[in-house]
Amino acid sequence: MKAYLINLDRSPERLVRMQEQFAKASIPFERVAAVDGKNLSDQEISAIVRTPAWAQPLTRTEIGCFLSHRKCLELIAEGEDKYAAIFEDDVSLSADAHKFFTTDDWIPENADLIKIESQGKKVLTDRPVVTVSGCYTVAQLRSQHILAAGYIISRDRARALLCCMNDAASPIDHLLFTPSCGFFPQMTVYQVSPAICMQAGLESTLSPERSLQYQCPAKMQKFLREMKRLVRRSRTGLWGIYINLFTRKRWGRIPVAHK
């Protein structure tokens, strides 16, 4: 199975790090030059963001990230392989990652996309339908699980998504993994557990622009926000207990396999 790595030309140190990661995991990969949002003209920005749907305007870096993933999808759509993987250049791979790339026989027949990364937050999944190497499970993902640093996608789904990616209405990870604002409801998405990759905690290239957008809320606004968050977490916690005790689904965190 092919692996495509998104990497900015101005981040050679990240490429070196990922070369070491892939070599250690015995996974060949192809570098895809990321679209640098900082170099996009106003005309190019307006051409790709025509129907804004996100709460805040997408930053240039977020638009560049969207376009970079689209470049990878184009390569997969034009390729001969039934499935291929896309990685961002700030992930850490598990020691067993190669077991998922020697064949695609483990992928469920109806899978459009398989998330092989974990964000560390709780998600809703069905019961596992596949076991890989005796210790990894594959189950259908039923809730939001954002970040798009590592996933496998089918060629057919890549072709279908490209028809809908003329507008960057939301960040790419939300388009793929948030049921309320993107392509998630149209796809059959699976989750590998334990995940075989996670973001390594490197400084995000999105951070500087996002920090400029952020405005510190007033004390009362902050208090009300925290109260709403507490109520929401309490309701979700009770709901999760019900799911795990009385249904065949599972609510919990997706662990990450050892490095």
User: Is 152 exposed, middle or buried, given 0-12, 13-18 or 19+ CB atoms closer than 10 A?
Assistant: buried
Residue 4: which of 118, 81, 103, 110 has the closest Cα? 81
- Within a domain: 224: no
Question: What domain count does the chain have?
Answer: 1
Question: What are 45-61's pLDDT values in tens digits?
Answer: 988 887 776 788 899 99
- Within a domain: 227: no
Q: What is the DSSP letter of 49?
A: -
Cα–Cα distances in Å, from 17 out to 6, 22, 30, 47, 128? 13, 9, 14, 34, 33
Residue 191: which of 253, 235, 104 has the closest Cα? 253
Q: What residue numbers bound the domain in which 209 lies?
A: 2-219+248-253
The yes-or-no verdict on residue 206 having pLDDT over 60 is: no
CATH number for 163: 3.90.550
Rounded Cα–Cα distance for residues 81 and 225 (Å)? 47
pLDDT tier, 228 (very low <50, low <70, confident <90, very high otherwise): confident
- Within a domain: 226: no
- Within a domain: 8: yes
- Within a domain: 229: no
- Within a domain: 238: no
Q: Answer whether 0.85 is exceeded by the pTM.
A: yes
Identify residue 115 by its one-letter amino acid code: K
pLDDT, position 200: 86
Question: What are 168-204's pLDDT values in tens digits?
Answer: 889 999 999 999 888 999 999 999 999 999 998 877 6
